[in-house]
Chain A
């Protein structure tokens, strides 16, 4: 303890820049309830980035696409292909959901890794990727749950609930449990990956600030992109799974 406190005193200026505060949030109050303001602020920035870039790139579509339009056409084709592979032929109505899921998580994760949030100092807590907060990831996972329930019910009606006893009725408890583990695993996978990556980078930066953290940051970019893809793919897979096998 003594050793740590003395090193804290010596390198205080560096701690001010590279300190990490897990579990510290900036609180706003609405009525009797609290809000993690830093998550809201960063999510607004992410939404602004998405909407502005989309508006600029897709303004006058040309037959031979310009660079921005080409990029967004590629993204749309990618999302379409992903949805079609997982959901099947009726993938059309689900493209906005899967696409927004993928883009929101991807831009959130990369904004947390690439944008210099620490420049803006908050009175309490700090700005980071909005997906490093359990509220965000659980919200997205619950939306996915609602989506696949809605998909199954709207396609099959009440006979959707037959799937709980489908292979054999013995598996009923497991099938019910699956409805809880699906959103749980989705949310925790994303939350754990993003928060852990942030922590690793911050701790490394506080220890060896110059070149060593860079491979870990690149790995973080890679895995956070993969996590966005995984979340979107699993959401599409759950939707496809609840819609399948009717006719």
Chain B
């Protein structure tokens, strides 16, 4: 601030007109460095008192006298505002046509398709269950049939077998009885023969043993 006040060139003073723009935070070199020797306080205050009226006078001069570039600041509203607004609206329309609507519609269609397929799958699974149950019932019926046939056959077979068994047993008994009879006869025969022999033998023994008198 002091350096710009010290420099007496009108352009430099115009740069420093504080009433119109906030202080530039520029760290670019502004005034000539040589003129900014460290002032002492008295010179500074006298220069300030001297230059304030001149600054006021310059500020009073009409706008074109100041360098156009320097009147701007941070809060400089101009035609840029409506232009940006129009650009934004055009961008909104363009993005809607190119991106939001087509991609949105595509995503929604895909979601709907997936949902439809999911519900379809749920339906066919009910059908599948029905078919499964039918199959199970058929299997059960078949098995029952087979079991019935099997048991019937078993009964017949066992009946036959029993008949045959009884026959054989009867035959065997007959043969056994016959064999026993034969054995009895032979035993009696043998006993008779033995009896006769026993008699004879006992006579012999008695004759032999008893002294002959």
What residues of chain A have their CB less than 8 Å away from a CB belonging to chain B? Answer: 1-2, 5-6, 8-9, 12, 15, 19-25, 27, 30, 33-36, 39-40, 43-44, 47, 50-51, 54-55, 58, 61, 63, 69, 72-73, 76-77, 80, 95-97, 99-101, 103-104, 124, 130, 133-136, 138-140, 142-143, 195, 199, 206
**Which residues of the partner chain A approach B84 to less than 8 Å between Cβ atoms?**
39-40, 43, 130, 135-136, 139-140
Cα-based distance from A50 to B77 in the complex (angstroms): 26
Cα-based distance from A99 to B96 in the complex (angstroms): 9
**Which residues of the partner chain B approach A63 to less than 8 Å between Cβ atoms?**
110
Task: Tell me, rounded to whole Å, the shortest Cβ–Cβ distance linking B38 to chain A.
Answer: 6
Among all A-B residue pairs, the 5 with the closest Cβ atoms = A96-B96, A135-B80, A5-B33, A33-B79, A100-B92
Query: Is B95 a contact of A135 with CB atoms below 8 Å?
Result: no
Choose among B38, B87, B93 the residue with the greatest number of A CB atoms under 10 Å from its CB: B87
State the majority secondary structure of interface residues on A: helix
B3 at the A interface (CB under 8 A): yes
Known A9-B33, A99-B95, A100-B91: A136·B80 in contact at CB below 8 Å: yes
**Which residues of the partner chain B approach A99 to less than 8 Å between Cβ atoms?**
95, 100
Known A54-B98, A54-B99, A73-B107: A24·B88 in contact at CB below 8 Å: no
B81 at the A interface (CB under 8 A): yes
Query: Is A134 a contact of B78 with CB atoms below 8 Å?
Result: no
**Which residues of the partner chain A approach B22 to less than 8 Å between Cβ atoms?**
23
Query: Is B98 a contact of A27 with CB atoms below 8 Å?
Result: no
Query: Is B103 a contact of A76 with CB atoms below 8 Å?
Result: yes
Task: Tell me, rounded to whole Å, the shortest Cβ–Cβ distance linking A160 to chain B.
Answer: 22
Beyond contacts A15-B28, A39-B84: 12 other A-B pairs, Cβ-Cβ < 8 A, are: A2-B36, A12-B29, A19-B27, A33-B78, A35-B78, A47-B87, A72-B103, A96-B92, A124-B69, A134-B74, A136-B81, A136-B84
**Number of A-B residue pairs at CB separation under 8 A:** 158
Interface residue range, chain B? 35 or more
Identify the closest chain B residue to A12 (Cβ): B29
Query: Is A95 a contact of B87 with CB atoms below 8 Å?
Result: no
Identify the closest chain B residue to A21 (Cβ): B26
What residues of chain B have their CB less than 8 Å away from a CB belonging to chain A? Answer: 2-3, 21-22, 24-29, 33, 36-38, 68-69, 72-85, 87-89, 91-96, 98-100, 102-104, 106-107, 110
Query: Is B72 a contact of A25 with CB atoms below 8 Å?
Result: yes
**Which residues of the partner chain A approach B93 to less than 8 Å between Cβ atoms?**
96
Cα-based distance from A99 to B93 in the complex (angstroms): 11
Query: Is B78 a contact of A135 with CB atoms below 8 Å?
Result: yes
Task: Tell me, rounded to whole Å, the shortest Cβ–Cβ distance linking B17 to chain A.
Answer: 13
Choose among A5, A22, A195 the residue with the greatest number of B CB atoms under 10 Å from its CB: A5
Known A23-B24, A23-B72: A34·B103 in contact at CB below 8 Å: no
Could you list 7 examples of A-B contacts with CB < 8 Å? A2-B36, A8-B33, A9-B33, A50-B95, A100-B95, A104-B91, A143-B89
**Which residues of the partner chain B approach A136 to less than 8 Å between Cβ atoms?**
80-81, 84
Cα-based distance from A27 to B70 in the complex (angstroms): 11
**Which residues of the partner chain B approach A61 to less than 8 Å between Cβ atoms?**
102-103, 106
Task: Tell me, rounded to whole Å, the shortest Cβ–Cβ distance linking B107 to chain A.
Answer: 6
Identify the closest chain A residue to B87 (Cβ): A43
- Candidates A20, A73, A97, A103; contact of B27 at CB < 8 Å: A20
**Which residues of the partner chain A approach B29 to less than 8 Å between Cβ atoms?**
5, 8-9, 12, 15
Known A95-B104, A96-B95: A23·B79 in contact at CB below 8 Å: no
- Candidates A2, A73, A143; contact of B88 at CB < 8 Å: A143
**Which residues of the partner chain A approach B103 to less than 8 Å between Cβ atoms?**
58, 61, 69, 72-73, 76
- Candidates B33, B74, B81, B88; contact of A138 at CB < 8 Å: B81
